Structure 1
Amino acid sequence: MNFEISDLLFPGFTKKALRELDSSYGIEFFYEFGKDYYWNEEVAAWGERSLSIHGPCVALNLADAKQKNYAKVWDKTFAYAKKVKADFVVVHTNEELPASEEQEAVQARVIRRLRKVVNLGQKYGVQVLIENVGLRPKESLLFDLAEYIALFDIFPEAGALLDTGHANVNGWEIPAVVEALGDKLKACHIHDNDGLGDAHLPLGEGNIDWKAYFAAVKKFAPQSTQVLEYCCGFSDTQSLEEHLAGLKKKYRLK
């Protein structure tokens, strides 16, 4: 089972800690938070390992009709992904939803824009993964479970990225989602919470049933990359690697 570490855990001036990460673990990084010269230096320092890119999700919202520059932003993102030979790029369908529009209209806009994004990914030969995003408590859930799964009928070229934290907050039965996605599930953002908010906690610090989750992954989506998308709990890679070793032993992960 391939594991990657999201650089969400090491923001700003702490990011150089990732240079010490064992090369058997990949790295997923938020490309929008740095210039190319910055990422060039970091990627070189990370050495030979698997890489993936988290696409723009703070300064860009596909659901916002006022944002017309999304294609240019995504073109630049995919160009860099190709340059560093990223295994995949993560795409959010939306962030906050427009307050005065019908959900169906916003869904139609996002699907139109996703078509352009997916096509750009294909242009650069980069695998596009569509993440389940949006949280019911924040009224930002644009695609419910059935609608999210249906996206992969609309975009068979794309793969799925299941975010366990988002799924838990939205009340989805996570092992069943893994089974439903099957070989479309190319990667997962794994982190924990109490079901009330998207806390990005280390595994075991919330109420997600990780035994059931990993059993489902091993059975239905063994090809999926497991990306630890923590925001807290570790300040260095040594303790993080010890945590990962503990997870592998506990859940019998190879």
Structure 2
Amino acid sequence: MRDIYLSTYCVAFQDYPWLAECIRTFPDFPVGVEFATSWTTPNFDENLVRQIPVFSHLPITLHAPFVEECTIPGSPEEQFMEKEYNKACRLYHQFHATSMVMHTHEGSFPAQEGDRWRARSLEVLLDWTRRMIDEGIHVTVENVGYPKKNSVLFDQEQFVALFDRLPQEVGCLIDTGHAMLNRWDIPALIRRMGTRIKGYHLNNNDGFHDSHYPIYDPEGFCSHQEMDDILRAIAQYTPQAHLVLEYAPDGRATTPVIHSDIRRVVQITESL
């Protein structure tokens, strides 16, 4: 069976005891954890390191820092990014993680600057994915950006083409919520990219905000049937990809909801 993970986003990257209890009380099979490697919470780094022995018996994947990748070379922002990414690489080995996902960029940008930002994003991606590969890190690159944030740097075709430029060892990670916000055809994207996709962030939203609802939330943009169709495409075309439930800490992701979603995901993705 493929690896299933629960993102620490659902506990605002800090209530790790609740997360541990949610996983402990799921009796069906072991569920792993995706840890963020940076956040603005006070004492975040110290608290994160304390989780290494707590969760060492579970599969672990990491999320690279939430910092701007499209920096000006030599700038303080680039130096900060370097520091945070180097820390994340150390954490990868400390956690004995199975993979780490990184973004193409983080923030908004002027429309006329799109070509320059895409070129810089590719430059940074090539640099850091090669460094990670050299360190034995399994790295994936995630689709990010959405219209309301004015941060759509890569459309669907551009995102697919990006992987022609990256080393073959670099996997793709599809965030279903980000794809919904940009009205991408997710099953078609999965069919096209196939086994280059190594992982997914599974979440739903309201169609406009990156709200990270549970995948079957009744207020979600994608219906129950549409989510099932996405999961069937995942099962058929990317049988080895790992799945991360990446839900927001807004009260929707209760323990019963998380447990129910995990069971439904496994029921569909293991049925083909």
- TM-score with structure 1 length normalisation? 0.90
Please report how far the alpha carbon of residue 247 of structure 1 lies from its aligned counterpart in structure 2 after TM superposition: 4.3
**Letter paired with 1:163:** D
Write out aligned runs for 1:171-182 (5 A). 171-182=183-194
- Contact persistence 1:71–1:117 (CA under 8 A): no
Post-superposition offset of 1:162: 0.1
C-alpha displacement at 1:161, in angstroms? 0.5
- Among residues 25, 31, 35, which one is paired with 1:29 in the alignment? 35
Question: What is the percent sequence identity of the aligned residues?
Answer: 26
Where does residue 60 of structure 2 map in the other structure?
Answer: 51
Which residue of structure 2 aligns with residue 202 of structure 1? 214
1:4 counterpart residue number: 5
1:234 to 243, 249, 253: 253
1:16 aligns with 2:34: no
Q: Structure 1 pair 12/126, CA: closer, same or farther in 2 (3 Å)?
A: closer
CA distance, structure 2, for counterparts of residue 123 and residue 101 of structure 1? 35
> Partner residue of 2:97?
86
Tell me what 1:106 maps to. Answer: 117
5+ residue gaps, structure 1, are: none
CA distance in 2, matches of 1:74, 1:112: 15
Note if 1:212 corresponds to 2:219.
no
Structure 2, unaligned runs of 5 or more: none
Tell me what 2:78 maps to. 68
Deviation track 1:163-190 (CA, whole Å, cap 9, x = no partner) reads: 0000001010011111111111111000
Could you tell me how far apart the structure 1 residues matched to 2:129 and 2:13 are? Answer: 30
Alpha-carbon offset, residue 64 of structure 1? 3.3
Q: 1:190–1:229: 8 Å Cα contact kept in structure 2?
A: yes
Name the SS of the counterpart of 1:32 in structure 2: coil
When residues 79 and 13 of structure 1 are mapped into structure 2, their CA distance, relative to the original with a 3 A threshold, is closer
Q: Distance in 2 between matches of 1:12 and 1:220?
A: 32
CA distance in 1 between partners of 2:144 and 2:244 (Å) = 16
Cα distance in 1, alignment partners of residues 198 and 20 from structure 2: 25
Q: CA–CA distance in 1 between the matches of 2:257 and 2:221?
A: 22
RMSD: 2.0
- 1:99 counterpart letter in structure 2: P
User: For residues 56-92 of structure 1, what are the alpha-carbon distances to aligned partners after superposition, in whole Å with 9 as ceiling and x for unaligned?
Assistant: 11xx201232422123321221121022111111101
1:132 is the counterpart of 2:149: no
User: What TM-score do you get using the length of structure 2 for normalisation?
Assistant: 0.85
1:116 match: secondary structure: helix
Deviation at residue 246 of structure 1 after TM alignment: 4.2
| Deviates further, 226-235 or 183-192 | 226-235
- CA drift of 1:129 comes to 0.6
Structure 2 residue matching 1:245: 3-state secondary structure: helix
Inter-partner Cα distance in structure 1 for 2:129 and 2:121: 12
Measure the CA separation in 2 of the matches of 1:242 and 1:169.
Answer: 24
1:85, 1:167 → 2: CA distance?
30
1:115 is matched with 126
Whether the 8 Å contact between 2:63 and 2:100 is mirrored in structure 1 is yes
